[in-house]
Structure 1
Amino acid sequence: MKKLQAGTRGKQSSAGLPNFVTLVQRYKKAVMGIEVVQVSNGQRSTGFGFPWERIQPRSSRPALNIGTGFVFHPKGYILTNEHVVSDADKIMLRVYGKKDLVEAKVFARDRKHDIAILRADVETPSPILRLANAKDVHVGEWVLAIGSPLGLDNTVTVGIVSAKNRPLQIGERDYPNLIQTDAAINRGNSGGPLINLRGEVIGMNTAVSQSSQGIAFCHQRRCPAQENR
């Protein structure tokens, strides 16, 4: 296996497998946990994403939805799945190294394509995470996911790209080009980055198979705001 450079490509371990430590240390501050609070009466179910993240029927008690976002723009904009923040009354961010939650607002959203951009009064980390081109995603390449499963921030899992261009319908949304991966994806990972060894985001963690293990799907779509960086 060709030796990879340290920094954006990580190092090789003595066993010939990638060492993801460098990538995690470099980009961990660009990933944020998301808590969505809904205080309205009534009931709602998103119908998408991970089954544990769906808002369940409730009375007047606030409901909590969890997810992940990441800074992808030098002005500090945060990318996540739209279904994570859909119909939110309040969106709070868990920022790396900060004790208190920070309130965020939806800057832009695209429900059809399940993309939302958030803005918050937080310092822009350096470096930020960049989005990869679709042509640079290859079946069999190593990837890592950083997110907040069960609300546990900066949790890292590792796998490979198992397949590309998987079509899937979740609720009313059609995803024609999902990336399939065997990296462990759990509750709270929605909207988090799937990162290649070059430190590029190749997709957002979006859905898991409820009937099997080792099958998760990541949303691959070029964000319009990327064009204005």
Structure 2
Amino acid sequence: MVKKAQTSVRPKRTSTGLPNFVTLVQRYKKAVMGIEVVQSFPTGRGLGPRPLFPWDRSQPRQGRSAMNIGTGFVFHPKGYILTNEHVVSDGDRIMLRVFGKKDLVEAQVVGRDRAHDIAILHADIPIPSPILKIGQSKDVHVGEWVLAIGSPLGLDNTVTVGIVSAKNRPLQIGEREYPNLIQTDAAINRGNSGGPLINLRGEVVGMNTAVSQSSQGIGFAISADVLRKEVDHILKHIH
């Protein structure tokens, strides 16, 4: 059986010589969704320790609930959604804001890896075509263009663009250690966590995870090889 050659999605150049990212955005925007996670607290209880990822945490409502916000993306033909574990941890309800749907859709965590900050969700939603596929770290080069789609501050389908600033950056946040992060200057803000970092070939080269609180133009993403390895491990337990 002859396999059909994969169609390239590399953006054409604009008159200024820069890539035109419209093709990538139009092709993959339906595979990316916003996430709202509600965590309730009994009356009289405090909110506990300060969250490790404060940029994804909204203020509690009347002292009884707190809401995390983030992003997820469909990466598997069965409709599994990838996001950060810190986005959905300790949540009572996980709600998705799906492209083209007016109402929120409830999702369930079907697998997680706290150490590597990875979680897989599933929900009763139409599987977008195409889905986003995870690439390989060896194909990521410092200086290449990358695009981030996410829900910063809850603003769905926000697109930012930048370059890969560095590779293999180590970072520790609370109990988690990230040894091989991709550094990018694409704008990453509260709510971008869990969203895809995409190269010009339409491959996910990283999952946006952290942003520097003390400076601008410095964001971090979990590398593709870490995602592929840990996601495969999680999926084996799901199936």
| TM-score, normalised with respect to structure 1 | 0.92
Alignment of 1:157 onto 2:160: yes
Alignment length, in residue pairs?
223
**SS of residue in 2 equivalent to 1:19:** coil
Tell me which amino acid in the other structure corresponds to 1:100.
D
> Partner residue of 2:9?
8
For structure 2, the residue ranges without an aligned partner over 5 or more in a row are 1-6
The within-5 A match list for 1:1-229 is 8-41=9-42, 42=45, 43-45=47-49, 47-49=51-53, 51-54=54-57, 60-220=63-223, 221-223=226-228, 224-226=230-232
Identity of aligned residues (%): 75
> Partner residue of 1:3?
none
Assess if the C-alpha contact under 8 Å between 1:48 and 1:207 holds in 2. no
* Cα shift at 1:219: 1.1
Assess if the C-alpha contact under 8 Å between 1:82 and 1:110 holds in 2. yes
| TM-score, normalised with respect to structure 2 | 0.88
- What's the RMSD between the two structures over aligned residues? 1.9
Kindly provide the CA deviation profile for residues 158-213 of structure 1, in whole angstroms up to 9, marking residues without a partner as x.
Answer: 00000000000001000000000000011110000000000011111111111111
* Cα shift at 1:47: 3.6
Distance between the aligned counterparts of 2:50 and 2:107, measured in 1? 20
**SS of residue in 1 equivalent to 2:227:** coil
Tell me which amino acid in the other structure corresponds to 2:80.
Y
Assess if the C-alpha contact under 8 Å between 1:45 and 1:55 holds in 2. no
> Partner residue of 2:4?
none
Distance between the aligned counterparts of 2:50 and 2:201, measured in 1? 34
* Cα shift at 1:52: 2.8
* Cα shift at 1:226: 4.5
* Cα shift at 1:39: 1.2
Tell me which amino acid in the other structure corresponds to 2:25.
V
Assess if the C-alpha contact under 8 Å between 2:97 and 2:103 holds in 1. yes
Distance between the aligned counterparts of 2:100 and 2:60, measured in 1? 34
Distance between the aligned counterparts of 2:39 and 2:85, measured in 1? 15
Distance between the aligned counterparts of 1:46 and 1:218, measured in 2? 22
Distance between the aligned counterparts of 1:63 and 1:54, measured in 2? 7
Distance between the aligned counterparts of 2:188 and 2:63, measured in 1? 31
* Cα shift at 1:222: 2.5
Distance change (3 Å), C-alpha of 1:80 and 1:73:
same
Distance change (3 Å), C-alpha of 1:45 and 1:134:
farther
* Cα shift at 1:90: 0.3
